[in-house]
Chains A and B, each alone.
Chain A
Amino acid sequence: MKYTKEHEWLRVEGDVVVVGITEHAATALGDVVFIELPEVETVVAEGDEVCVIESVKAASDILSPLDGEIVEVNTKLVDNPGLVNEDPTGVAWFFKIKIDDMSVLDALMDEDEYNDLIG
């Protein structure tokens, strides 16, 4: 598992990367009530706003952690946004992104580095 400073986790599955938000982020957001996912086949650049996540408290964006193409989205989250609070690193993944060069993941944080970040 890799992590970004925007509190996303990334997990490699074959030639795609699965992206979700960390438990720390889910807790900080509070009860999630609405999620807007990107369209499949959208080509995104690192830093693009790809998802909207609304909790009882506020709206936040999820930024694409990488350049690539969205190949699958987790439509379960649309009907049941609360999954993000229940199981943020498991069933509540957000999207899968296909990237050309897996080596870009090397620059991201590992678990120890992420834990240091959130203190």
Chain B
Amino acid sequence: MGGGWPQPIGVGMRFRQYGGDLSEVLLNLGLHDLHVALGGKMVPFAGYEMPVQYPAGVMKEHLHTRAAAGLFDVSHMGQVILRPKSSYEALALAFEALMPVDVLGLAEGRQRYGLFTNESGGILDDLMFANRGDHIFVVVNAACKTADIAHMRLYLGDEAEIIPVLDRGLLALQGPQAEAALARLLPEVVAMRFMDVAVLPWQGAELWISRSGYTGEDGFEISVPGAILLAFAEELLDQPEVMPIGLGARDSLRLEAGLCLYGHDIDTTTSPVEAGLTWAIQKARRAEGVREGGFPGETRILQELAEGPERLRVGLRPVGRGPMREHTDLFAEDGTPLGEVTSGGFGPSVEAPIAMGYVARAFAAIGTPLEGDVRGKRLAVNVVAMPFHPTTYKR
């Protein structure tokens, strides 16, 4: 792969950037020192060293995000620009050939959730993409970004320049007071609605902002040039509503919001239909849509849309106080094996254990009583609706 994604070397948010084919430049995007100064407990994650929690702890960080505003460093995620070679429309159509998603119909200044699928209808990665007028901006998962870049270079290379954005960090500001906190720096964000994107100047640099996130709360994701990343993060942390939040609370927040974590709740074996992500497959790409099919795995995905999948991702609520963690085996009450938990833990806002997992479709109805095997004991767990905690997106 020519000029691939720089490989992280595991010292904070530093990574090697390969300039040309010879010189290695150690580029520090860097909030590592800030995380350490804030008391962050640093752990390896997707090849980076990231804060899993700060001294407040996962529970308080989670609840603070739901009550006020939390700042997350998600700079490990992959930011990529797709710049069309012939026309935006040609690029949008080429991008649609990788996803069961309506790219062409996405208006300028709007962002949408997408999924790269494989030939067997599984999911290679989930992502966000935005129509920024003359190009598409994509944010992909950290663990998949190298593969995603290769995938896009291979399939979109004729229609687009695939440009990894290496000199920017990514921050998420989430929670009911995120708007108030960010508006003190950037008053224009008040006018944005859920999934709007905007480019706004701050201290002479360009911020790329979307009103989105992965916590179930209203909030923003902000792509920040490396040169001002520290200053911008400190400015946000100076706002009285804002507290730094680690990956631990990010996980419990997204679980309560019923959102999938790639590599756990969705992967190359799960189809978007099984995963309950049919809302991400717009009408234009479905049977009898204006651009029906034409994406990897269309046979399985269109068939599952028509007939229902064999299994489904469901929300799970253990009856007792004990969490059912990932890989807990799930059974019908008569002992028939049904599937397993793919994410599970304790929901600090729900104040109870919550989980999600896959079960055979006949057992996926809300209210179905199931059992989970926890340390050799069969414990009661019910299928429940998701999200576990109501979402508060500003639509």
A residues contacting B by CB (< 8 A) are 30-31, 33-34, 36, 52, 54-59, 78, 81
Contact = CB atoms under 8 A, between A and B. Distances in A.
B395 interface: no
Chain B interface SS verdict (over half): mixed
Interface string B39-69: 0000000000000110001111010000000
Given A31-B58, A31-B59, A34-B346, A56 B321 contact: no
Nearest to B59: A31
A30 B53 CA distance: 10
Interface residues of B, number: 18
B142 to A, nearest CB: 20
A54 B248 contact: no
A59 B248 contact: no
Interface of B: 52-53, 57-60, 62, 248, 252, 321-323, 325, 345-346, 348, 353, 375
Contact of A56 (B58, B322, B375): B58
B323 A34 contact: yes
A56 B248 contact: yes
Contacts of B59: 30-31, 56
Nearest to B351: A33
Contact of B322 (A31, A54, A58): A54
Nearest to B249: A56
Contacts of A56: 57-59, 62, 248, 252, 345-346, 348
B353 A34 contact: yes
Contacts of B322: 34, 36, 52, 54
Contacts of A33: 321, 323, 346, 353
A24 B53 CA distance: 16
19 contacts: A30-B53, A30-B57, A31-B59, A31-B348, A33-B321, A34-B322, A34-B323, A34-B353, A52-B322, A54-B322, A54-B346, A55-B58, A56-B58, A56-B59, A56-B62, A56-B345, A56-B346, A57-B345, A81-B321
A33 B63 CA distance: 14
A15 B360 CA distance: 54
A12 to B, nearest CB: 30
B176 to A, nearest CB: 21
A54 B322 CA distance: 8
B53 to A, nearest CB: 7
A30 B321 contact: no
Given A30-B53, A34-B346, A34-B353, A57 B58 contact: yes
Contacts of B52: 57
B95 to A, nearest CB: 38
B58 to A, nearest CB: 4
A55 B53 CA distance: 13
Contacts of B348: 31, 56
A59 B58 contact: no
B301 to A, nearest CB: 35
A36 B59 CA distance: 20
Nearest to B252: A56
Given A34-B353, A54-B346, A59 B325 contact: yes
A52 B58 contact: no
A55 B345 CA distance: 9
Contacts of B58: 30-31, 55-57
B103 to A, nearest CB: 38
Given A56-B345, A56-B346, A31 B57 contact: yes
Contacts of B57: 30-31, 56
B161 to A, nearest CB: 42
Contacts of B252: 56
A75 to B, nearest CB: 13
Nearest to B323: A54
Contacts of B248: 30, 56-57
Contacts of B353: 33-34
Contacts of A78: 321
